[in-house]
Chain A
Amino acid sequence: MTEEARKCKNIASGMRADLLRMALKAGSGGAHIGGALSATDIIAALYGAILDYDREDWNLRDRFIFSKGHCVMAQYAAMKETGRASEEELASFEDADSWLCSHATMNREKGIEFSAGSLGQGLSLGVGVALALRKKGNTTSRIIVLTGDGECQEGQIWEAAMSGAQFNLHRLVVIVDANGMQVDGRCDDIMCHRDLRAKWEAFGWKAVEIDGHNIGAVIEELRAPTDRPLAIVARTVKGKGVSFMENSVAWHHGRLGKKQFEQAMAELEAARDD
């Protein structure tokens, strides 16, 4: 493992603990922790190695668009682990006066580019941003959109996919957090995508399929040169890192009790020692 990947792995580890704390705080209201945990390694790779938020001109930042907005708690966790949000801010998750809402709520200064929660819309926004940045002569920023595989059942995703290829937006990336599950069950049972990677390729994108928990692979694919928009179908495990949440639809949106929290934290601790 490279030094960089190891750093991202540490970020991911910290994020998982943050997510558990947020879920515990959410209490009986529940939290979308399953899909946040599946996306954690991807987002750790983005925040640890890919997204550049340190440019002097904020206009030149990378644009990370969190389309599966119900899992935005994973972005908050990444922000905390990389010093872009404080522990106190994280503790305000879902408070009425907090910017850390359960669904992504636009906050440009913090790098939350758009509000989300209504699925299928982030890629269209990304297409618009990519067109705008090209018009402005910005060849620095990348536009990275995170969607879920369940979300790919929305027709608008494919309208946007067509346009991303039509307009040759090679600075645009979509990462599909393909955890194989949605609220009502397994994607394959509810509305099967068949071959997602092949679909993106058929729509004119450079499309790759990787293990979404292999941080090194995520970084590598994002760094590989491309003259087309890039689709990364990242195979992931819903609830990754917490044994009783893994591959469990119940944890799409679940209530975490104190005992479960302690068990989950102990598992994370054990995994960290490995």
Chain B
Amino acid sequence: MINYTPANIKLWSKLGARSVYGSIAAPEMLEQNNKIIFVVADVAASAGLGRLTESWPDNLLNVGIAEQNMIGVSAGLASEGFIPFASSFAPFVTARAADQIRMSMAYMRLPVKLVALASGLAMGINGPSHLGFEDAAIIHSMPGVAIVTPADGLSTIKAALAAATWDGPLYLRLTGVTNMPVIYEQDFDFVIGKAIKLEEGSDVLIIASGAILHNCLLAAKKLRENGVSAGVMDMHTLRPLDTGALDEALGAKLFVTVEEHSRDGSLGYAIAAYLADKSDRPPLLRVGLTNYPHADTYAGLIESAGLSPDGIAAQIKEKLSGLSR
């Protein structure tokens, strides 16, 4: 049984999303439902699932370094009523196995839960081969697969538990490194498809998900200090998109999407498509990667992609000044 104490909540973010997923969320998920099978492509240790080899050996399946087979095996398990959570690093679990995901999860709607470890820029100096900044776009191109990106340790646990009861295929995108900043300080309701307003603000609405939300909150603070009222929304679910939450915010002067991802094909595109249907709408600024970065530390990659608090705030200010001219 998970204890949502302040100390634990701090600890979980310290551990980081990957470790919390495997070492805290996974045992809890299995306590609730032993039909869950954690399927890994030689990443049991990387996913924090190593301890299951002793405590839940029948619920951990290692298929070796073979992601395409992992999706097929998971789909076969799902077709017989099991709940497979298949994981590897973001590019390997998406681009590498895209057609298998397309056939089994999207087309056949077999309820596999796919878990991307260390997506976004978390793999840092390992370089673009390991970075996850096209992964959400790949999955987003396939109708019907839910996409969920939690923001910190606690929300990773909440999202994983919610994913286990989600009726359908789902992509769980874990971002950030260890020592994640805490976004949610106490237990809260996490509902897939229901965005969470973290900060109120009337001028600008910053929409983001994952670890990068922390920088968005800091950017909003900077903007407020400069007289710009900026709100922040945790759009942890990219699909199904919470259009209701967006409808309520349409009065803003500017929508901003901030992504630890290519700014094409994912959240920014989804919001652009949503806005395109509205006759009276704010302009949209999309902040995110535009090309393959050179290998660097996580902090260095965040900085050079314009995703630091200063970088985000500066881009928003520039956009706002363009609007007022």
Contact = CB atoms under 8 A, between A and B. Distances in A.
B71 A132 contact: no
Given A115-B107, A135-B58, A156-B100, A128 B66 contact: no
Given A135-B58, A155-B68, A121 B77 contact: no
Interface stretch (B79-87, B243-251, B304-312): B79-87
Contact of B81 (A115, A125, A132): A132
Nearest to B73: A128
Nearest to B80: A132
A101 interface: no
Interface residues of B, number: 27
A124 B79 contact: no
Given A115-B107, A118-B99, A121-B100, A160 B80 contact: no
A269 B74 CA distance: 46
Given A118-B99, A163-B64, A113 B79 contact: yes
B95 to A, nearest CB: 15
Given A124-B76, A131-B77, A159 B104 contact: no
Contacts of B43: none
Nearest to B72: A124
Contact of A132 (B66, B77, B107): B77
Contacts of A125: 72-73, 75-76, 79, 104
Contacts of B58: 135
A133 interface: yes
A156 B72 CA distance: 9
Contacts of A155: 68
A136 interface: yes
B103 interface: yes
A132 B82 contact: yes
Contacts of A162: 64, 66, 69
Q: Which 4 A-B pairs have the closest CB atoms?
A: A128-B76, A124-B72, A132-B80, A159-B69
Interface of B: 58, 61, 63-64, 66, 68-69, 71-82, 84, 99-100, 102-104, 107-108
Interface of A: 106, 113-116, 118, 120-121, 123-133, 135-136, 155-156, 159-160, 162-163, 166
15 contacts: A114-B104, A115-B103, A115-B108, A121-B103, A124-B73, A124-B100, A125-B72, A128-B75, A128-B84, A132-B76, A132-B80, A156-B72, A159-B66, A160-B73, A163-B66
